[in-house]
Structure 1
Amino acid sequence: MKINVSSEIGELEGVIVHTPGKEVENMTPQNAERALYSDILNLSVASKEYIQFKKVLKKVATVFEVSDLLKTVLSDQESKRTLITKICEKENVPEIIDYLLEQTPNDLAKQLIEGVPLIEVNLTKYLSDERYELQPLHNFFFTRDASVSINNKVLIGKLANQVREREALIMESIFNSSKLFQTKTLNPNLDLSAPKITIEGGDILIAREDIILVGIGERTTPQGIDFLIEYFKQTKRKVNIIAQVLPRKPESFIHLDMVFTLLDTNKCLIYSPVILNNHAYEAVQISIDNGKVKSINEELSLIESLSKLGMDLEPI
């Protein structure tokens, strides 16, 4: 399948989802805060909702499950070793590399998502309060955060919280190692010169092929947007990035897609106290053309900025 996403409202050909599983069941009130939860997710309710969700998606598109894609990646020994090594080095557990390499693709895919239980090989681990060598990925059903399609490329998220870094490694491996998708990845995780970069897919909306909307807030930093600017400069294309500042608190504003969603060619759903309140939460338009930043200007609002670029939207 060729990746080419140039709109939030275009016709879908394929969707990657992760159906919540035992990693959600492993959530407790004690570890909820570390896992970025404000409440415990009811797995039985979520499972029923996902069945309905996928039934709808399957009527219009091919639905790919993360776990199935991951099993395919892990079936290749070189890809398996590369991914395991990256994960274990990132999470500082190199001693379990050999154990993970011994697992079958099915078992390993399950453990990388649901968590690897603590292996009590010494007294320190025996007495540890930790239950896992690798923590369960409680947030993985938010698949857009770890990777998002921008035109014919896939941006691998540099997630703001360490507990989610494995999600990005898994999605990078899927897009780089799987032969199902024709694309190349953009990976800010490889830019060691800018440690403050964080950028998550929930903050990125593709308004048009040449218009990218990005939220600045709790999960995406200005340095993350600078990474996108540098990429678009290299393409030599004419592109406009509109950066929308978001409230830092509460958590209902952590991503742009929580306050602004495109519904149709001429309609959008907004939270007006943020989107139409330029005095507190400004919108900034960055125009890029022929490898250079042509202008950076504050706008009256995100909607006004889109209007200037030929996208007139009725806010709802």
Structure 2
Amino acid sequence: MDNAINVNSEIGKLKTVLLHRPGEEVENITPDTMDRLLFDDIPYLEIAQKEHDFFAQTLRDTGTEVLYIEQLIAETLDTSKLVREGFTRRYLEEHGYSRGKTFEGLAEYLNSFTTKDFIEKIYAGVQKKEIEIPHEVLSDMAGSDAEKLFYLDPLPNAYFTRDPQASMGIGMTVNRMTFAARQPESLLTEYVLNHHPRFAGKVPVWRNRNHQTRIEGGDELILSKNVVAIGVSERTSSKSIQQLALELFKNPLSTFDTVLAVEIPHNHAMMHLDTVFTMINRDQFTVFPGIFHGDGSINTFILTPGKQADEIKIEHLTDLEAALKRVLNLTELDLIECGGGDSIIAPREQWNDGSNTLAIAPGEIVTYDRNYITIELLKKHGVKVHEILSSELARGRGGARCMSQPLWREDL
């Protein structure tokens, strides 16, 4: 197999990354749909795009190849008419339209677009006012009520490319996401991996999206070629972690023999592990102190292969620093607290992703400029910081790591 993915750490020199430039889908959020679409506010698209372009250029300037998922899926659908028709059918079926006038009307409408415009429409959503579809029976509405404005909802979270999938070694997880608003995103990944010439047949899938248990890429951190850290969070279940660990341990293409599961508070402010904890160097991590109990403890579990092929050994610890030292064979560790651990600054900057940093090389990161207290602290700890613009992108509650999916890192 010619590898198309190579991610054996969080900190190896970043060579190729996957992004999505926010588009019309962001402007299709309304105050009434913010909660369902997982937003606290509505970003101003023009500024959000300028900020995202600045982010992408920052990565290019440091030697990273930038790929866009919207471009990859367009190239994928152009490989054959059957692939595009199959994607259209799957996309509509997953939205509840499997047959009838609504299915036929939507399929005909989507297939009237060029591939580029088709993809833009998938992200932006299809409003009911765009097309007239006669409904034979109520069930043809796929559960939509009369007040709903869309046949197909927009995908405004898609600029957080970290979550629908996770690069892990030479393979990927293609994720069953928690909320309906995001579940269509990983179908795009599935089609790219199965049909795009750059990836088809070259990427082992450790876990596909056809599960009932949830997992998202923001909870999946690659600490070394042998160790994965995964958050037990609002978006990732302990059952998913155990299922993935078992596959990693028994699959001969996997190099991973240890999973470090970290239990974090289950809430929107700390939705993924990488919103409160990221690796930035061989022995340096950012951390939000709010994840710890009053005595400094946190439930941490080390998963390793059991005696039988289908068994997992689980060890419970309450000291995150001790657990990290053990699984990474470190004697010293530098945990850098978001906002310096201040009771006001830390939660404010964590809310704006002060702990969500993207390492582009050991000790070199990209992060939002607005978290200036954390940035100064990182610099004092010897970290090289590239600051990116953040007034509108941050409204989506995700930082530089959330907005990026590494596809290739140099090995350490």
TM-score normalised by length of structure 1: 0.91
Residue equivalent to 1:72: 75
Question: What are the Cα deviations for residues 152-175 of structure 1, in whole angstroms up to 9, with x where unaligned?
Answer: 001111100011111010111112
Q: Flag structure 2 segments of 5+ consecutive residues without an equivalent.
A: 337-412
Superposed, 1:11-50 pairs within 5 Å as: 11-50=13-52
Residue equivalent to 1:244: 262
> Which residue identity is paired with 1:223?
K
Is contact 2:207-2:244 (8 Å) kept?
Answer: no
> Which residue identity is paired with 2:301?
V
Is contact 2:15-2:65 (8 Å) kept?
Answer: yes
Please report how far the alpha carbon of residue 78 of structure 1 lies from its aligned counterpart in structure 2 after TM superposition.
Answer: 2.1
Find 2:321's aligned residue among 300, 303, 316. Answer: 303
Change (3 A) 1:253 1:161: same
Change (3 A) 1:287 1:278: farther
Find 1:122's aligned residue among 111, 117, 134. Answer: 134
Please report how far the alpha carbon of residue 104 of structure 1 lies from its aligned counterpart in structure 2 after TM superposition.
Answer: 1.9
TM-score normalised by length of structure 2: 0.71
Question: What are the Cα deviations for residues 87-145 of structure 1, in whole angstroms up to 9, with x where unaligned?
Answer: 111101231234323432112111111112223212677x9322221111010011110
Please report how far the alpha carbon of residue 19 of structure 1 lies from its aligned counterpart in structure 2 after TM superposition.
Answer: 0.9
Task: Work out the CA distance in 1 between the residues paired with 2:119 and 2:284.
Answer: 40
Please report how far the alpha carbon of residue 82 of structure 1 lies from its aligned counterpart in structure 2 after TM superposition.
Answer: 1.9
Q: Is 1:56 the counterpart of 2:58 in the alignment?
A: yes
Task: Work out the CA distance in 2 between the residues paired with 1:201 and 1:91.
Answer: 22
Change (3 A) 1:277 1:305: farther
Q: Is 1:213 the counterpart of 2:229 in the alignment?
A: yes
Change (3 A) 1:292 1:129: closer
Task: Work out the CA distance in 1 between the residues paired with 2:12 and 2:249.
Answer: 25
For residue 67 of structure 1, give the secondary structure of its aligned residue in structure 2: helix
Residue equivalent to 1:110: 120
Residue equivalent to 1:92: 96
Find 2:275's aligned residue among 240, 254, 258. Answer: 258
> Which residue identity is paired with 1:17?
L
Q: Is 1:268 the counterpart of 2:285 in the alignment?
A: yes
Is contact 1:153-1:184 (8 Å) kept?
Answer: yes
Please report how far the alpha carbon of residue 276 of structure 1 lies from its aligned counterpart in structure 2 after TM superposition.
Answer: 7.0
Change (3 A) 1:78 1:186: farther
Aligned-CA RMSD value: 2.3
Residue equivalent to 2:384: none
Is contact 1:263-1:269 (8 Å) kept?
Answer: yes
Task: Work out the CA distance in 2 between the residues paired with 1:89 and 1:296.
Answer: 39
Moved more, 96-105 or 21-30: 96-105
Is contact 1:275-1:302 (8 Å) kept?
Answer: no
Please report how far the alpha carbon of residue 30 of structure 1 lies from its aligned counterpart in structure 2 after TM superposition.
Answer: 1.0
Task: Work out the CA distance in 2 between the residues paired with 1:41 and 1:89.
Answer: 30
Residue equivalent to 2:246: 230
For residue 165 of structure 1, give the secondary structure of its aligned residue in structure 2: coil
Name which structure has the greater RCO, CA cutoff 8 Å, separation 6+. Answer: 2
Superposed, 1:142-153 pairs within 5 Å as: 142-153=160-171
For residue 279 of structure 2, give the secondary structure of its aligned residue in structure 1: strand
Moved more, 303-312 or 93-102: 93-102
Superposed, 1:157-176 pairs within 5 Å as: 157-176=175-194
> Which residue identity is paired with 2:110?
L
Task: Work out the CA distance in 2 between the residues paired with 1:225 and 1:152.
Answer: 19
